């Protein structure tokens, strides 16, 4: 399990990477400010943790009831950041993946979605 300090360090890289301006002209004014580490953590807890688990291993409290099981991010394989963003943004069904994976484009800004991609990558690299 990833220790809290290590998780905080991983989350801090999100801020360093995505601390710029809005990624899409159609985004709201809210997205023009940096996505803070605390915000990304809250988004993850609200939108991802229930299925993907606290550290992205696909072992969240709802995971055992889902078929197919949520992805363990350590086993993502060769997938581009763009493709991963599309899964988060549009949902699994829209990109030929699991229909259980909901899209979040109505709940997140594009910048927040991109920050989640970075978080997923960081959690996938973390070791126990």
pLDDT band at 15 (very low <50, low <70, confident <90, very high): very low
pLDDT band at 126 (very low <50, low <70, confident <90, very high): confident
Q: pLDDT of 83-96, one tens digit each?
A: 999 999 999 999 99
Q: pLDDT of 32-91, one tens digit each?
A: 456 777 888 899 999 999 999 999 999 999 999 999 999 998 888 889 999 999 999 999
The pLDDT value recorded for residue 17 is 46
CATH code of the domain in which 62 resides: 1.10.760
Cα separation of the two ends of the chain: 5
How many domains are there within the chain? 1
The CB-based long-range contact list for 40-49 (8 Å cut-off, 24+ gap) reads 40/11, 40/14, 40/15, 40/112, 40/115, 40/116, 40/119, 41/11, 43/108, 43/112, 43/115, 43/116, 44/116, 44/119, 47/104, 47/107, 47/108, 47/116, 48/116
Residue whose pair of structure tokens reads 């997923």 in the numeric block: 120
DSSP 28: -
Please determine, for residue 16, whether its predicted confidence score (pLDDT) is greater than 80.
no
pLDDT band at 6 (very low <50, low <70, confident <90, very high): low
- What is the distance between the alpha carbons of residues 30 and 21, in angstroms, rounded to a whole number? 10
* Parent domain of 8: 4-125
- What is the distance between the alpha carbons of residues 117 and 88, in angstroms, rounded to a whole number? 8
The pLDDT value recorded for residue 2 is 52
């Amino acid at each position: 399990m990833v220790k809290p300090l290590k998780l905080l360090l991983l989350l801090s890289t999100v801020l360093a990477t995505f601390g710029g301006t809005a990624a899409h002209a159609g985004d709201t004014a809210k997205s023009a400010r940096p996505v803070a580490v605390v915000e990304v953590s809250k988004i993850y807890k609200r939108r991802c943790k229930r299925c993907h688990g606290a550290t992205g291993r696909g072992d969240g409290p709802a995971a055992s009831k889902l078929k197919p099981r949520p992805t363990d991010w350590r086993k993502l394989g060769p997938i581009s950041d763009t493709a991963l963003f599309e899964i988060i943004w549009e949902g699994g069904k829209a990109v030929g993946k699991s229909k259980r994976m909901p899209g979040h484009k109505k709940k997140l800004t594009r910048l927040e979605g991109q920050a989640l991609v970075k978080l997923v990558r960081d959690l996938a690299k973390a070791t126990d």
